[in-house]
Structure 1
Amino acid sequence: MAHIISCFEASNTLRERAKRIIPGGAHTYAKGDDQYPVLSPGFIARGHGAHVWDVDGNRYIEYGMGNRAVSLGHAYPKVLRAVEREIKNGANFTRPASIEVACASAFLDTIEKAEMVKFCKDGSHATSGAVRLARAVTGRSMVARCADHPFFSTDDWFIGTTPMNAGIPKEVQELTLSFKYNDIQGARSLFKQHRGKIAAVILEPSKGDEPKDGFLYRLRDLCHENGALFILDEMITGFRWHLNGAQAFYDIEPDLSCFGKALGNGFAISALAGKREFMELGGIEQREKPRVFLLSTTHGAETHAMAAAIATIQVYHEEPVIEHLMEMGELLRAGVSEIAAQHGLSEHFYASGFASNLVYGTLDQERMPSQAFRTLFLQELIKRGVLAPSLVVSYTHTKRDIRKTLDAVDGALKVYRKALENGVSNYLVGRPSDVVFRATNRFVAPPAEVPTLMPELQRRAPQRESDFHSAGSSFTFP
Structure 2
Amino acid sequence: MNTVNDDIVDRFAESGRLQRRLHELVPGGAHTNARGSDQYPEQITPVIVRGEGARVLDADGNWLVEYGMGLKAVTLGHGYRPVVDAVCRAAADGVNFSRPTVWEVEAAERFLQMVPTADMVKFAKNGSDVTTAAIKLARAATGRDLVAVCRTQPFFSVDDWFMGASAMPAGVPQAVRDLTVGFAYNDLGSLRAVLDEHQGRIAAVIMEAATGTVEPAPGFLEGVRELADRDGFVLVFDEMISGMRWSPAGAQSVYGVTPDLSTWGKALGNGFSVSALAGKRELMELGGLNTDASRVFLLSNTHGAETTGMAAYLAVADDYEQRDVVGIMESQGEKLKAGLLEAVAGAGMADHIAILGRPSALVFGTKDNEGKPSQAFRTLFIQELLRHGVLAQSLVISAAHTDDDIETTVEAVRAASAVYAEAIAAGTTDGLLLGRPVAPAIREFAAPRRLGV
Q: 1:405 to 1:4 in 2, by over 3 A?
A: farther
Q: How many residues align?
A: 445
- AA in 1 matched with 2:226: D
| Partner residue in 2 for 1:263 | 268
437-446 vs 261-270, which deviates more?
Answer: 437-446
| Partner residue in 1 for 2:22 | 18
Alignment partner for residue 157 of structure 1, among 156, 161, 169? 161
User: 1-side partners of 2:361 and 2:300: how far apart?
Assistant: 31
1:224 Cα deviation (Å)?
1.6
- AA in 2 matched with 1:381: L
Alignment of 1:57-456 (within 5 A): 57-208=61-212, 209-287=214-292, 289-422=293-426, 423-444=428-449
Asked whether the 8 Å contact 1:343–1:417 carries over to 2, the reply is: yes
User: 1-side partners of 2:37 and 2:172: how far apart?
Assistant: 25
User: 1-side partners of 2:278 and 2:312: how far apart?
Assistant: 18
User: 1-side partners of 2:279 and 2:264: how far apart?
Assistant: 11
Asked whether the 8 Å contact 1:269–1:309 carries over to 2, the reply is: yes
User: 2-side partners of 1:212 and 1:19: how far apart?
Assistant: 43
Asked whether the 8 Å contact 1:71–1:394 carries over to 2, the reply is: yes
1:444 Cα deviation (Å)?
3.0
SS in 1 for 2:147: strand
Asked whether the 8 Å contact 2:130–2:263 carries over to 1, the reply is: yes
Alignment of 1:35-50 (within 5 A): 35-50=39-54
Q: 1:385 to 1:39 in 2, by over 3 A?
A: farther
Deviations 1:177-233 (A, max 9, x none): 111111001101111111000001010010131111211011011012001011000
1:42 Cα deviation (Å)?
3.3
**TM-score between both structures, scaled by the size of structure 2:** 0.96
Asked whether the 8 Å contact 1:234–1:245 carries over to 2, the reply is: yes
Asked whether the 8 Å contact 1:34–1:444 carries over to 2, the reply is: no
| Partner residue in 1 for 2:4 | none
User: 2-side partners of 1:315 and 1:213: how far apart?
Assistant: 33
1:38 Cα deviation (Å)?
1.7
- AA in 1 matched with 2:41: P
User: 2-side partners of 1:380 and 1:103: how far apart?
Assistant: 43
User: 1-side partners of 2:329 and 2:78: how far apart?
Assistant: 15
User: 1-side partners of 2:48 and 2:211: how far apart?
Assistant: 28
SS in 2 for 1:424: coil
Asked whether the 8 Å contact 1:87–1:304 carries over to 2, the reply is: yes
SS in 1 for 2:430: helix
Asked whether the 8 Å contact 2:340–2:410 carries over to 1, the reply is: yes
User: 2-side partners of 1:306 and 1:226: how far apart?
Assistant: 37
1:235 Cα deviation (Å)?
0.1
Identical pairs, percent:
49
User: 2-side partners of 1:6 and 1:178: how far apart?
Assistant: 46
Asked whether the 8 Å contact 2:38–2:452 carries over to 1, the reply is: no
- AA in 2 matched with 1:296: S
User: 1-side partners of 2:334 and 2:432: how far apart?
Assistant: 30
Asked whether the 8 Å contact 2:33–2:442 carries over to 1, the reply is: no
1:46 Cα deviation (Å)?
0.2
Deviations 1:395-419 (A, max 9, x none): 1101111111000000001000101
1:439 Cα deviation (Å)?
1.3
SS in 1 for 2:396: coil
1:17 Cα deviation (Å)?
1.7
396-405 vs 267-276, which deviates more?
Answer: 396-405
Deviations 1:342-362 (A, max 9, x none): 222122111111110111101
SS in 2 for 1:71: coil
Q: 1:309 to 1:191 in 2, by over 3 A?
A: same
- AA in 2 matched with 1:388: A
User: 1-side partners of 2:242 and 2:448: how far apart?
Assistant: 35
93-102 vs 36-45, which deviates more?
Answer: 36-45
The two structures, once aligned, show a CA RMSD in angstroms of 1.4
1:447 Cα deviation (Å)?
8.2
- AA in 1 matched with 2:284: M
Deviations 1:281-324 (A, max 9, x none): 1001212x110111111111110111000000110111121111
432-441 vs 125-134, which deviates more?
Answer: 432-441
1:13 Cα deviation (Å)?
1.9
User: 2-side partners of 1:79 and 1:276: how far apart?
Assistant: 30
User: 2-side partners of 1:119 and 1:342: how far apart?
Assistant: 48
1:421 Cα deviation (Å)?
1.3
SS in 2 for 1:272: strand
User: 1-side partners of 2:100 and 2:264: how far apart?
Assistant: 21
User: 2-side partners of 1:108 and 1:163: how far apart?
Assistant: 36
SS in 2 for 1:426: coil
| Partner residue in 2 for 1:474 | none
| Partner residue in 1 for 2:3 | none
Moved segments of 4+, more than 4 Å: 3-6, 445-448
User: 1-side partners of 2:341 and 2:219: how far apart?
Assistant: 29
72-81 vs 31-40, which deviates more?
Answer: 31-40
- Could you tell me which runs of 5 or more consecutive residues in structure 1 were left unpaired when the two chains were aligned: 449-478
User: 1-side partners of 2:234 and 2:272: how far apart?
Assistant: 30
Q: 1:446 to 1:133 in 2, by over 3 A?
A: closer
